[in-house]
Amino acid sequence: MGIFFGRKKDQGHNTDINNQEINGTETTTHRARVIAFLNQKGGVGKTTFAFNTAHALAQKGHKVLCLDMDPQANLSLLFGIDLKEQAQQQTSAIPGPFSLYHLMVNSIRELKPLHVGALVDDVLVKRGAIDLLPSGQELSGFELTVASINTPRQLVLKRFLEKTDLLGRYDYILIDCPPTLGLLVVNVLCAAQGLMVPFRPDEFSKKGLEHLETVLGDIADMELTKLPEVIAHIPNLVDARRKQEENDLSSIETLIKNRAETLGGDTMAPFYNRSQLVKAQAHKKSVFDFESKEYAPLQEQFAQIASKIEAWSQQ
């Protein structure tokens, strides 16, 4: 991880609110809150939680943008977007389709030879109150693409969001992260103000939290940006019948409490291993798209996550 944290520069800026003095009157420019769903361990539900939380926030009247920062593009697939399939079906000589990767590369002046003819609105996918900037396989080569640039590689995503008007368009920007702590996730951590951490109650998730703590410490040492705050930890896929899971959940909750300074944030009520969540995902729908009473508990839990985010954003 040390190769990502070699550059040290104190900028000391806060991107939450942009205040300007105009004709002697102070005005406040709206800025979206950027929240990442993150865990080094795969299969803990990051994509599922990002997708359904976006719908929960939209249900509350918020304008939401989702960023798919995972080269596997599972969040994009839930929105019905498969850029790989679109590329295979492409019959035009015009390049494309383009993804979030191309927009980030376009934002780096040093990479001008790699720029493509695509603007944000050319890539943006609109789904009612929720918009998406989809992922593509090109994201897997992001680290190699930016290896030679002189500007801080850790801040590419943050500067992309600041250069565009995206922070002014939305109430919340939710980011789905890959199951790694590589440069893509470091970029997310530098761009986000808040973190939601889904986890399974097992030893691997406990190790993942310890690794996250280390990376957050490394970002603090960089002094390039303000450290994101952990909003909440979310136990997922919990099987109440297994005593070992109960013990592992208790152990992880103790770890979080003991490391509150770096891993702070509440531990929310567990999400049990419900077939309804699997069914909704298989149909590429959120739990809010179903009227059956069997989805009501899940709808309530995701509404609680949205309320938690609202309360945090008002602090």
pLDDT at res. 118: 93
Residues 6+ positions from 33 with CB-CB distance below 8 Å: 16, 171, 172, 173, 193, 194, 309, 313
Position 87 scores a pLDDT of 53
**Residue 3 confidence (pLDDT):** 47
Do 83 and 136 form a contact (C-beta atoms < 8 A)?
yes
Domain that holds residue 57: 29-313
pLDDT along the chain (315 residues), means of 10: 46 40 46 94 92 98 97 95 66 62 96 95 92 94 95 96 95 96 94 95 86 88 90 88 81 88 85 89 95 95 97 92
Report how many domains make up the chain: 1
Is there a domain that residue 191 lies in? yes
Cis ω before 97 (30° cut-off from 0): yes
Is 23 contained in some domain?
A: no
pLDDT at position 43 is: 87
Q: What's 177's domain CATH number?
A: 3.40.50.300
pLDDT of residue 129: 87
pLDDT at 86 (0 to 100):
62
| In-domain check, residue 239 | yes
| Structural domain contains residue 92 | yes
Residue 283 in domain: yes
* Residue 183 domain-assigned (yes or no): yes
Do the domain assignments include residue 15? no
In a domain, 17, yes or no: no
pLDDT of residue 85: 65
The residues, ordered by sequence, that sit 6+ positions from 148 with a Cβ below 8 Å of its Cβ are: 110
| N-term to C-term CA, the chain | 32
Tell the residue number behind the tokens 């909704």, with chain if given. 280
* Orientation angle between helical segments 296-313 and 46-59, nearest 10 degrees: 80
From the number of C-beta atoms within 10 Å of its C-beta (0-12, 13-18, 19+), residue 224 rates as buried
Residue-level pLDDT at 91 = 39
Q: Which helix (H) or strand (E) holds 243?
A: helix 243-258
Please tell me the predicted confidence (pLDDT) of residue 223.
Answer: 86
